[in-house]
Amino acid sequence: MPIVTAAEPWWKGACLYQIYPRSFNDSSGNGIGDLNGILEKLDYIADLGVDGIWISPFFLSPMKDFGYDVSDHTAVDPLFGDLNDFKNLVSACHQRNLKVIIDQVYSHTSDQHEWFKQSRLSKDNPYSDWYIWADAKADGSAPSNWQSVFSGPAWTWDNRRKQYYLHNFLTNQPDLNLHNPDVQEAIFDVAKFWLELGVDGFRLDAINYGMHNIELFDNPPNPLADKLTARPYTMQQQSNNMSHQDMPMFLEKFRQVLEQFDEVFTVAEVGGNEPTAVMKSYISANNKLSTAYSFDFLTMQNVSGLNLQKILQPWDTKDDEHWPSWAFSNHDVPRVLSRWSNGQESPIKAKLFQTLLISLRGNIFLYQCEELGMRQASLPFHLLQDPEGIANWPDSMGRDGARTPMPWDHAKPNFDFTNTVPWLPADFASASAADSVSAQVDDEYSVLNYTKALIRLRKQSSALKYGEFHFIECATDVVIIKRIYRQEELLCVFNFSAQEQAVNPLLFEKSAQLISNFPDITFYQSVPGNYAGIFICQ
C-alpha cells in the first residue's frame, strides 16, 4: 500500500479527536474535567493515532451554556485551569506530534462579557454598535419574528437601552454585530492571541449565525415543519438571521490574518437545512477556510445508502477547492451508535459505523468515547444540566446524554473520571464495564483497538486520505464505495441491514489480496449482516 507523502497540508484528510473538557478527565477533584486532566491522558490520545485534538471551550464563562457563552475570549476559566496550564498542554501535544485545535465563538458572547456590558449602557458609546440592537415595533413587539434555536423569541428587551437585542441562542448569549469593522478587528486580535500561544487552528462555532439581514425582515414559514414535533425555531426558514451573503467576505479577511502564521487549520460549523452551498461558500484552498462540516450526519436518524448518497454526492471528487469534513457524533447530538442502531446497539455496529467514517473523503472528527462504542445516556429530567434539554423537555432529551464523563476504569468509582461527585453521572445508562477504556485496551477485538487499526490504515493510505470518492453500489442496505488515488484503489463495503446481503463477486476480482497488515478490519463479519470490509484493488 502506498505511504502517504507530505505533499499535502497536514490537515488534509486528518482525523481529529474532539475533547469536551468538562467530561474528559478531572485532575483537580472538583467533579469537572480540566486542562491538566487532558494533559494526563495525552498518551492515550496519541496512542489512538489521531492527528490532533479539538478542545471545546475552556474560556472564562458564567457557564449558562457550558462555555459557549464566553465572557473573556483570552482567559481560561478557573474551572479548567489557567493560561500556563494551556501553554503546557500545547507544548505536550506538540511533543507527541498532536496538533491543537480550539473552539472560537465569534457569533455571540455571554451577556457578562465586558463588550456587552459597555454596549448596553447607551446608544452612543464606543461599544454601542458591537451587538444587534433594534427598536421595538410601534406596538412594543420584537423587531422581527425570529426565533431562538433553544426556545422562544430571538429578541429580548433591555430596559437600560430601551431596545431589543438579538440572541440566536440563550437570552444570556447576545449576538455580536460582525457587520461592524471594529468587532471584526477585535475578533482578529483574539485569533492572533491564541495563535501566538501555539494553537494550530480553530473550529468556528455556529459561524453562519455571525451576520444577519440588517433590514430585519421576518423569516418565512417552513412548509416542511412537522407541527406535532416542531418548536417555533423549526417552523421558520432561517433566511434572514443566518448565512448572510457577506460572511464569505469576512472569512476572506480572517484568512488574511491567519496567513501571518504557519498553515493554520480552520473548520466552520454550519447549521441549517440546506448547508452544502453555505459550506462551499466558506471554503477555499486559497482565500477562505480550510473546510467546514454540517449537521447532516449528526442529525441523521438512520443510516442507509440513500441517505449517504444525498449527503455525499454534492461533494465533487475532483473538487479540491472545497474540502469537506464529517462527524457522526459530538457534544450537541445523541451518540451515533444509539441513533443508527434502532435500539440494537452493539460493538459490531460501532465498528461498522467507525469503518464508514474512516472511508469518507475529507477530514473526520472522532468525538470522545466514540472510539469505545459508547451509547447515549438517557438521563431523567431532574439530572439534566443542559438548558436546551430543560427548555424543550420532553420533545428533546437534550445534550447531556452525549456529555456524560469518559469511562476510564470500570473497577473504580465514577469510572475513574473524578474522585468526587461528577458534574453529570459517570455511570449512568451510557457507561458499563464493557464501555470503559480499562476493559477494552487489552482486548484485541474491542471497539477501541478496532478504531486504532482503522486510524492507522487511514494514515497509511493515500486513497483514504486524499483519494476520489465513488459510489459503486448505493442501495438501501448495501453500500460499496471506491476510493482512488493515483495507482491505489480501495473498495469499502457496508451492509446496514440485519440480514446477509448478496454482493456481485465481479466487484472483487481485483481484490484477491486483502490488506494483510490489518486482518481485523479488512472484512468484519461475526454475525449475519452488519459487516464492513476494506479491500485493496490490484
The residues carrying an active-site annotation are 205, 269
C-alpha cell, 17: 479527536
Reduced to 3 states, what is the DSSP secondary structure of residue 247?
helix
Q: Provide the edge-to-edge strand list for the sheet that holds 133-134.
A: 133-134, 163-166, 155-158
Reduced to 3 states, what is the DSSP secondary structure of residue 192?
helix
C-alpha cell, 292: 467546514
Give yes or no for a contact between 504 and 488, defined as CB atoms under 8 angstroms apart: no
* Cα–Cα distance, 320 to 315 (Å, whole number): 10
Judging by beta carbons within 10 Å of its beta carbon (0-12, 13-18, 19+), is residue 257 exposed, middle or buried?
A: middle
> Which residue is associated with the grid cell 445508502?
305
* Cα–Cα distance, 199 to 90 (Å, whole number): 7
**Cα–Cα nearest to 251, from 111, 107, 88:** 107
Judging by beta carbons within 10 Å of its beta carbon (0-12, 13-18, 19+), is residue 124 exposed, middle or buried?
A: exposed
Reduced to 3 states, what is the DSSP secondary structure of residue 495?
strand
Q: Where in 167-314 does DSSP place strands (E)?
A: 201-205, 265-270, 291-294
Question: DSSP of 412-470, one letter per residue?
Answer: SGGGGS-SS--SS-TTSTT--GGGSHHHHTT-TTSHHHHHHHHHHHHHH-HHHHH-EEE
Reduced to 3 states, what is the DSSP secondary structure of residue 82?
coil
Q: How many CB atoms lie within 10 A of CB 173?
A: 27
Give yes or no for a contact between 175 and 131, defined as CB atoms under 8 angstroms apart: yes
Q: Where in 61-162 does DSSP place strands (E)?
A: 72-76, 99-105, 133-134, 155-158
C-alpha cell, 459: 494514515
24 DSSP 8-state letter: T
Give yes or no for a contact between 333 and 296, defined as CB atoms under 8 angstroms apart: no
> Which residue is associated with the grid cell 441562542?
169
**Cα–Cα nearest to 167, from 119, 124, 126:** 119
Alpha-carbon Rg for the chain, nearest whole angstrom, is 23
> Which residue is associated with the grid cell 449475519?
528
Distant-in-sequence, close-in-space partners of 222: CB < 8 Å, separation ≥ 6: 230, 234, 235, 236, 237, 273
